[in-house]
Amino acid sequence: MNESHPLAIHLPEKGMRILRFPLTRLFIALIFVTAFTGLAFGLSSWVSKDLLAQEHKLLASIIQMILTCSFSWFGYTLYCWTVEGRKVSELDIRNGFRQTGTGLLLGFGFISLIMLIMGITGNYHVTGFNSISVLWPFLIMSLQAGIVEEILSRGIIFRIAEEGIGTWGSILFSAFLFGFMHMGNANATVFSSVSIALTAGVILALLYVITRRLWVPIGLHIGWNFTLGGIYGAPVSGGEPGGILAAQFSGSEWLTGGAFGPEASVITVVVFVAFGIYLAKKSIRDNSWVKPMWRK
């Protein structure tokens, strides 16, 4: 927060200390982004009401996704400009396409590995193929979830909490919140929330720690959801299955994830915990970790 932005708020010294305190900024940032996201939902509902009446649901979904992502992005950017008084380096467009592509490949690769293991163990069976048109809803959902949830979970919650409680504490805190944010999903269980916390919650935070950018986490989040649901036809976080591959799951729910999907599988946990250990070691070697406030 050393580089001052022209739109930065300036208060007396005591006021600036309060404004820049991590807990204060965490609260303000969440208000900014949730307010703009809510405005986007309201605007998209108004814009799309005629489309929905005419059964143009796909176009209405595209409009909602574009507005929601754009408004969330703008709300976060405006917060960083005014409250933190800085440019949004974590969303710097330079190298954005390359890093997002890296994340997409990671998401595709790891989900494919998990589904391969499930296939070898007899828990996943491809029974046919669906029309390529089924990919559109999954692509729209994946883009919206990847961008909006990463701005909220890693851009705000993890990044700001890290300044107060350090990297290790913030990983635990943000992963726990991210996992249990999914507790309200259809078919969710305590184990499915713990699994998401240990896998996506930890991995996405560590990727941010290593890159100090949101692009790789955004790409992995999009690639994870789209590959799992759109390609392999598995439930995504408890949603309805229906990807380009028509598939069936059989065997223990501990291995398949049950109705919630492979994100609640012990196979997923083992694969991503192993990847998390590798990323944690790399971040320590790179000296990417931040000490908590009381140790600075």
Residue-wise pLDDT tens digits, 232-263: 999 999 988 889 999 999 999 999 999 999 99
112-158, pLDDT tens digit by residue?
Answer: 999 999 999 999 999 999 999 999 999 999 999 999 999 999 999 99
Q: Provide the b/e sequence for 238-251 (b: ≥16 CB within 10 Å).
A: bbebbbbbebebee
- Residue 211, token pair as written in the block: 């890159």
Task: Quote the pLDDT of residue 296.
Answer: 66
pLDDT of residue 53: 65
Name every residue whose Cβ is closer than 8 Å to that of residue 57 and which is 6 or more positions away in sequence. 51
Domain residue ranges of the chain, discontinuous segments joined by +: 1-87, 93-295
Q: What is the pLDDT of residue 237?
A: 93
Q: What pLDDT is stored for residue 1 in this prediction?
A: 46
Point out the residues of the chain with pLDDT beneath 50: 1
What's residue 4's pLDDT?
77
pLDDT of residue 79: 97
